[in-house]
Chain A
């Protein structure tokens, strides 16, 4: 009997050595799944909010265009269009659309969506110029990227 008692008293704490492994697993999961912003944004981006917004189903079909006033003063104060990592001229937009479309699978080519992230202080002139170019390039599905408007005044 004395033998049994001695053994049961020897170690009573739960082994926690495996806990870090579990936490690391969670950590790696989050590190792998979350996508850190691919493009460095060179223009001001405070998007206007809208109430009835819809969600895009497939992210792989979306290309982004950023419009707004440049963050750095050396680029001037007029709003510019940014695609991927650099500013883009209006006449380069059609080429850009073609390049973006080439990245997609054949079946998805006409499903391509261009997401416009436009700063709220931008005027409509440049936005409509971009739209005209996209129309020429046959990229007809576009989306004005906006966060959800939270109504607090009711």
Chain B
């Protein structure tokens, strides 16, 4: 009995425990990757009713901005070949913000349609680039309505009432009308 008293401090040295826990913590911090749910959102058209004939929609040629991509990943934009998909951003932006000034471009943003038609052999990477640039042009135009840049427009939070109003106003001014046509089978797989 007297012996145990003599030993005095009986605690286990727990100082290094923190180091071990830190090591584990850092391991988990490094290995876990947060799944990012980010990307390009589109809305598909509703399925066609097989009992009804497909609706016949007549549109003026000037209101359609045609982007064709073939199986060799070559672009045909408004009947002219184009090499750089990133040049599309300014072209689409010019097209939708025309408001009837240039007779070759759109009448108004409400009438304008960007049509993307790919081939079955087109690579997905190029398709994403084209779609990204077309959407980017719309975001830039929407930001222009509010006097901000395209990135700032995307940064707006729809949950805040005043910012939601801004988004709605920009969406009304530039409804995003991007049509993704069913690809043709010329190029094969």
Binding site for B on A (CB under 8 A): 16-17, 19-20, 23-24, 26-27, 30-31, 34-37, 48, 50-57, 59, 62, 78, 113, 115, 118-125, 127-128, 131-132, 134-136, 138, 140-149
Contacts and interface: CB of A to CB of B under 8 A. Distances in A.
Contacts, number: 162
Interface stretch (B58-66, B96-104, B106-114, B122-130): B122-130
A27 B36 CA distance: 22
A16 B15 contact: yes
Given A20-B17, A135-B47, A146 B136 contact: no
B14 interface: yes
B37 A59 contact: yes
Interface centre among B28, B122, B129 (most CB of A within 10 A): B28
B124 A54 contact: no
Interface of B: 11, 14-15, 17-18, 20-22, 24-25, 28-29, 32-47, 118-125, 127-129, 131-133, 135-136, 139, 150-151, 154, 158, 180, 182-183, 185, 189
Contact of B120 (A53, A119, A123, A131): A123
Q: Looking at chain B's contact residues, is the secondary structure mostly helix, strand, loop, or mixed?
A: mixed
Nearest to B123: A123
B38 A147 contact: yes
Contact of A119 (B40, B42, B47, B124): B124
B42 A143 contact: yes
B9 to A, nearest CB: 9
Contact of A48 (B125, B151, B183): B125
Contact of A132 (B36, B182, B189): B182
A125 B183 contact: yes
A60 to B, nearest CB: 11
